[in-house]
Amino acid sequence: MNAGVGDLLDGFDHVETANEFAQRLALGRPLRVKLGIDPTSADLHLGHMVVLHPLQRFAQAGHRVTLIIGDFTARIGDPSGRNVTRPQLSQDEIEANMQTYIKQAGKVVDLDQIEIRYNSEWLDKLNFTDVVKLLAKTTVAQMLERNDFRQRYDAGAPISLHELLYPVAQAYDSVAIEADVELGGTDQLFNLLLGRQFQRELEQRPQICATVPLLVGLDGEKKMSKSLGNYVGVDEPPAEQFGKLMKISDELLPIYARLAAFRPERECQQLADELAAGRLNPMDEKKRLACEIVARYHGKEAAAAARDFFERTVQRKEIPTEGLDQIELGECKRVAEVLVKAGFAQSRREAERLIAGNAVKIDGEPVRDQNQRWTSQEVAVLSVGSRRFIRILPLSS
């Protein structure tokens, strides 16, 4: 536990409070550090990694790190940042997502150094009397201090009662494991502070709350989210990750260097200054950054191959001939059907939209007609956009 306050708190945009953290660290005992993640989708993305990286830093420093998988809270649905009620997940969906989350979190955190808990362990055991006692420790007015609840209330948008239970349940997690420190994104600060309040009222030492900035998505406007389609999944193929990262604006380069590549703050500020002064080529820096991020999740060799693939297919407009997945044409008669079979579209209707949007090509030639039949009798390369390619083999091949 030789890491100092500055090292451990590097990258956090709010700490409640830094003085308390320093005092507790000075006691010389390992701190119980907590992070909760709800398995609400099938994949983690780069936005999740922003907080997992400092969690690993605490583990490496010898602290008692607990990653809480919110299998119970996922049943409620986190209302943070939402202007509508989040759909509730089935237990089967939650369990499938949990396994994916643990596997993908292992790309950033050493699973042998941390403890994994599920908050159903203690939340399932609470009876109605316990819940009423917890609810008595907060007020409706306090709940409406949350921006998302306040905005929805003022706009006359519905707020379901079960959504008000979400911050209460997450706050109780801190009580259950007697957390010293809880990490989270900026949008989670209310929930973290409520956990601090509950601990104080239940005669525990209140936790320190430390939040990281939210990573802006590829659109440059809203936080990265799978539901918004502006995300880069940590388990996506290297070429897909690289191609997506090349879409970020020049202005986002220093932000992604800091929050997705975890470069030091001083280096990121220097990058911003050099770009603003025109002393660096944004395209070169974007490729370097994309390589760095892809290498973190797939290795340097895969990152180099992804860069080469991007340069050949996007910049030089070449049709790749090697390393492509391939499928047999089978009974497919129309190009739209082949797109579905190739996994490039979820349905024939979606495939027809891709064709109408001029996104589909066969051997580099655009497909214009949504009803076009597949006529090639030879091996052909089907592509969607500039990053998705697959070889189509006729039955006779």
Q: What is the pLDDT of residues 338-351, one digit of tens each?
A: 888 888 888 888 88
Three-state DSSP state, 382 = strand
Handedness of CA 189, 190, 193, 199 (dihedral sign): negative
Q: What is the pLDDT of residues 2-15, one digit of tens each?
A: 667 778 888 899 99
Q: Amino acid identity of 47?
A: G
The closest of 231, 386, 389 to 311, measured between CA atoms, is 386
Average pLDDT in the 259-279 region?
94
pTM for this model (two decimals): 0.79
Of the CA atoms within 13 Å of residue 38, those in its CB half-sphere come to: 21
* Owner of token pair 């039949």: 373
**pLDDT (0 to 100) of residue 43:** 82
Q: Specify the higher pLDDT residue, 1 or 179.
A: 179
Q: Cβ of 108: how many Cβ atoms within 10 Å? A: 19
380-384 and 388-393 beta bridge pairing = antiparallel
What phi-psi label fits residue 113: left (phi over 0), alpha (psi between -120 and 50 degrees) or beta?
Answer: alpha
Report all structural domains of the chain as residue ranges with CATH numbers, in order of start. Answer: 5-212 (3.40.50.620), 238-315 (1.10.240.10), 326-393 (3.10.290.10)
